[in-house]
Amino acid sequence: MKAYERLLKYVKFGTPSDDGSETVPSTQCQFELARAVVEELKALGAEDAFVDGKCYVYGHIPATVGYEDKNAVGFIAHLDTAPDFEGVGCEPRIIESYDGCDIPLGNSGRVIKTKDFPHLKGLVGKTLIVTDGTTLLGADDKAGIADIMTAIERIRDSGVPHGRICIAFTPDEEIGRGADCFDLDVFGADWAYTVDGSGAGEIEYENFNAASAVWTVNGVNVHPGSAKDVMVNASLVAMEINSMLPAGDTPANTECYEGFFHLCEMTGTVESARLEYIVRDHSAAMFDCRLAALRHIEKLINAKYGEGTARVEIKEQYRNMAEKILPCFHIIEDAKAVTESLGIAPAVHPIRGGTDGARLSYMGLPCPNLGTGGYAFHGPYEHAVCEEMEQCVDIIVGIVKRAAEK
């Protein structure tokens, strides 16, 4: 079976996670896909495959006889799709021999425009999978699951000798919880790769240091006719807090290794206000400076308006995995060598976000990220490229072969 054929099957499962839920997994629908891939893994030779009570799927392909002493290499993808756009009821469409023009998405009125997605010009003649414009596709990360499954099938059918191969599919990655209950002992890999990137040939081992910062502002609300020297308008104080951050350090003004403060949501009245930020930076030192700046603003605001006026709650989410990858950089060099051997130019660049691999790396499992063959994730313009998915399969197979040769 081709990887794209598996993707077409998997996207029929609606698996959005829910960041407002306190259960694990956050949505029960993820179990449906989990149970389906467990049965598929068993059919492919992972006889011990299972899904645990928290919707983590684990399975292992035993080493070829004589290769039991080789390193165990793992591959990880996630079951859930982003909750920020409709992900249930996907109706995928295949476009063969893409002509390089804008792509209307069904009757939705939405169009994938080449001016917005310039990489499309490099996909002329290839086979694309798109949505009807009313849902996301789910290639993030069902393309990753499909790539891993297809690679396992190809290894089995070709008789490629290999060490132990460890497979895991996690829930709730899109809401930052994918590594929360990951069992490293059950997984059992020496190192692993998340298959959760974009184009074929992507190799990512640097990501943001990340935190959330939530401000609670308490005002003093009195009649405006007698408010002189008494009223403290919480909404205005919230605006003042935002004005104290560097105006250019926002996602719309930064790229590559540049960090930012991103105001995700704000609500407010005279009585109270709330600001929700995410804070990002590749540099650990700059990241710490950003957090220190928030705490300094809290101090200044309370000194100006009175103690208890403003409180910022900072929660660190993940750290740059480069610190944990660099000591075992051969796993990046192996991926690059395999990619180049297939005639694909490695695309090594920093992630302006995070993956399960970042947290897993800090938990003791070095875990960079590979491409899947999908693009424009988290919305109706999401699309996958069938030929690139096959290239991603080739890269996974090549990494397994290379590990067995050492």
Q: Which residues are catalytic?
A: 80, 173
Region of 133 on the Ramachandran plot (φ > 0 left; ψ -120 to 50 alpha; else beta) = left
Which amino acid type is present at position 378?
Answer: H
Q: How far apart are CA 261 and CA 48, in angstroms?
A: 45
Q: CB of 70 within 8 A of CB of 406?
A: yes
Cβ-based neighbours of 289, under 8 Å, separated by 6 or more: none
Report the C-alpha gap between 293 and 287 in whole angstroms.
10
124 CB burial (10 A radius; 0-12, 13-18, 19+): exposed
What are the two backbone dihedrals, phi and then psi, of residue 113, each rounded to the nearest 5 degrees?
-100, 135
Distance CA 392, CA 119 (A): 17
User: H/E/C letters for each residue in 47-105?
Assistant: CCCEECCCCCEEEEECCCCCCCCCCCEEEEEECCECCCCCCCCCCCEEECCCCCCCEEC
**In this structure, are residues 162 and 65 in contact, taking their beta carbons and an 8 Å threshold?**
no
Cα(401)–Cα(398) distance, integer angstroms: 5
Q: Which tokens hold the place of 90?
A: 């996907």
Q: Which residues contact 204 (CB under 8 A, 6 or more apart)?
A: 197, 348, 349, 350, 351, 355, 368, 369, 370
Cβ neighbours of 64 (radius 10 Å): 16
Nearest by Cα to 380 from 30, 199, 112, 197: 112
Show the 3-state SS of 176-217. CCCCCCCCHHHHCCCEEEEECCCCCCEEECCECEEEEEEEEE
Task: Say which residue the tokens 């790769």 belong to.
Answer: 193
